[in-house]
Structure 1
């Protein structure tokens, strides 16, 4: 009797085991298929969300143009392993919710192979959970945010130096070389500004210093007057500025009108060329750290052959654009992306692409700054360049 009852029980166990095995196999298949999304026999589809208008529109537009100058060249010369690269870009206006919506659209509807060329800290940090959940690579973000670097995230590939490195180099220059000790911080009141503020505080600490004053403005506004007054009352000798070009330019111009004499230092995200355009021929103590060299320096420095190449291709594909720091960074990001595709080979998927990026060692991009990655470090470049405003243009402070 017991043997007869055991037969149905064994059958049920057998059927359930087949069911669960089938589910597991189906899950594995979906994961495998997701790794090759956006890849066809003749095309690789990638996507970007960045500001193409509004108060950060210059940064997004120039990042995109610089990247496309190189990607168009690659496509026109045969592509990568027989595939052309197509970039879909959506405008997020430097607004985090719009960036999240754009990213969901790129991943779910457009089914892109990877994300590329995002612009801004408050926007990019918001999509970290989406990137990790989808296991989709994102490369070449125009932001030095520490949250994209620590802890290490497998699918996030940073090319540029961080804001901590920029503010660290700037504080060292201000304290050790210019001999200043009263340093204030003016920052955008969001995760971008907080990152720059923290980086400055960390850099000041070894000298036994803290900011003599801190003040902020709201992203998307030009309300800098209150912040300026607060810093002026403390007699700051230098102001570390973590913002975008319009509010920072207004802050500097108002400071001069009020007779406030100070060194004004900005991180690279400010958009130096646009800052210079707004300020005009003001020849003041204005410093901007950069993560790429001045493009024009390639005319006198043979080691900057990559910058010269960028100028030539920008002229070919975007003849209306002047060479600038922002689009050069976009161009460099595109070169790194293509290098990863080359190394991954024809049998491409998302995991193989990340593995390929991690094999890059001391790659010469022609910017006097070799690029390296490994499985424990997903930031490729380390160098910080100094520029200062002279005759309406930011030039290389190479001494």
Structure 2
């Protein structure tokens, strides 16, 4: 009898010991990505669309078993495009949520504000929605998109070489984003021995552009390089037209051409540099999967911002799956390998598109990053 009891107890111990092993094999800890972006306020469409694009890809990944058996969790917090909120969000994501990676933050001033935090923690900061040079020279930061220097050069070359314009002025958002582009645009003008005719500024997250408009009108500018988000820039273009001031306008990709063009009320000469392919013009397999994913997500009008979020997720997944186990060093190394492959195949480019209301012309002039 005692022998039977001993056998039963032994079997019970074996069963109990095996339970945690089964649970561990089927429920590995998720990979946590933390994102801080404008999800409300005047720049909300940027953060919302970028997150929607990434979510669509990660949903597919998780449905197919995740990254080497680990699901991906994307925790996105709203910072309203205000740096102090980005700082609070980042501290929470690192210290409380214990994220593994900071992913697809939106904006230069917001990303700039958290540099001391990410430098201190050496946490990977990948695929930010900005082309600022200040985020391009650190080992723990990975950029997928082209730089603002690339975009600025394309704009100035186009205005001077193809349009023959030399009187160029700037409308600048008064923060790190504006300063970054001001420097890039000024640098791009140097080969032509040109300087900006005038520089006017406006406050971030505001549409207070009347004084700036008056200053730029008085400058006699033939073209104005715009640096800001879609709402104030659309208001500037519309108000300029009402005052019979009709120069060429340019903007970098951060503006979201889709959102800007939708708010322009009259025929206008607006040029926007883009760093993602046309949504309906990209023929690569991942672009085709993107359109299918957008349809499944009930997003009927996908934009380049959606596509960039999807591309960011696509690149992260391909780097992460090559790391077993996943570590910061391996992830960043694999991301750099992917970036070198993209640069070599000239997939990372700046595209210049021209918008005249109700007559959109995609010029298809490509400048590939070095």
How would you bin the TM-score normalised by the shorter chain?
0.7 to 0.9
CA deviations on 1:106-152 (whole Å, 9 max, x unpaired) are: 00111111110100110001111111111110111001111101xx2
Aligned match of 2:337 in 340, 349, 359?
359
Q: Report the equivalent of 1:147.
A: 134
Q: Report the equivalent of 1:326.
A: 305
Q: What does 1:248-263 correspond to in 2, within 5 Å? A: 248-263=233-248
Aligned match of 1:339 in 314, 318, 326?
318
**Contact kept? 1:56, 1:244, Cα under 8 Å:** yes
State the shift of 1:42 in Å. 4.3
Q: Say yes or no: does 1:67 pair with 2:47.
A: no
Q: Report the equivalent of 1:85.
A: 72
**Contact kept? 2:135, 2:141, Cα under 8 Å:** yes
Q: Say yes or no: does 1:193 pair with 2:178.
A: yes
**Contact kept? 2:268, 2:357, Cα under 8 Å:** no
Distance 1:393 1:278 in 2: 15
After TM superposition, the score normalised by the length of structure 2 is 0.87
Aligned match of 2:189 in 178, 192, 204?
204
Q: Report the equivalent of 1:216.
A: 201
State the shift of 1:294 in Å. 1.4
1:88 aligns to what SS in structure 2? Answer: strand
- Please provide the CA RMSD for this pair: 1.8
Unmatched runs of 5 consecutive residues or more in structure 1: 1-39, 364-369, 374-379
Q: Say yes or no: does 1:58 pair with 2:64.
A: no
Distance 1:239 1:381 in 2: 29
Q: What does 1:245-324 correspond to in 2, within 5 Å? A: 245-280=230-265, 282-298=266-282, 302=283, 304-317=284-297, 319-324=298-303
Change over 3 Å in CA distance of 1:220–1:157 after alignment to 2: same
Distance 2:347 2:202 in 1: 30
Q: Which runs of at least 4 in structure 1 moved beyond 2 Å after TM superposition?
A: 304-309, 358-363, 370-373, 390-396
**Contact kept? 1:159, 1:381, Cα under 8 Å:** no
Q: Say yes or no: does 1:350 pair with 2:328.
A: yes
**Contact kept? 2:172, 2:228, Cα under 8 Å:** yes
Distance 1:359 1:229 in 2: 49
**Contact kept? 2:33, 2:100, Cα under 8 Å:** yes
2:74 aligns to what SS in structure 1? Answer: strand
After TM superposition, the score normalised by the length of structure 1 is 0.81
**Contact kept? 1:222, 1:246, Cα under 8 Å:** yes
Number of corresponding residues:
339
Q: Report the equivalent of 2:351.
A: 385
Distance 2:347 2:111 in 1: 19
State the shift of 1:392 in Å. 4.5
Distance 1:357 1:349 in 2: 12
Q: Report the equivalent of 1:3.
A: none
**Contact kept? 1:360, 1:372, Cα under 8 Å:** no
Q: Report the equivalent of 2:115.
A: 128
**Contact kept? 1:144, 1:161, Cα under 8 Å:** yes
Distance 1:58 1:175 in 2: 32
Change over 3 Å in CA distance of 1:305–1:179 after alignment to 2: farther
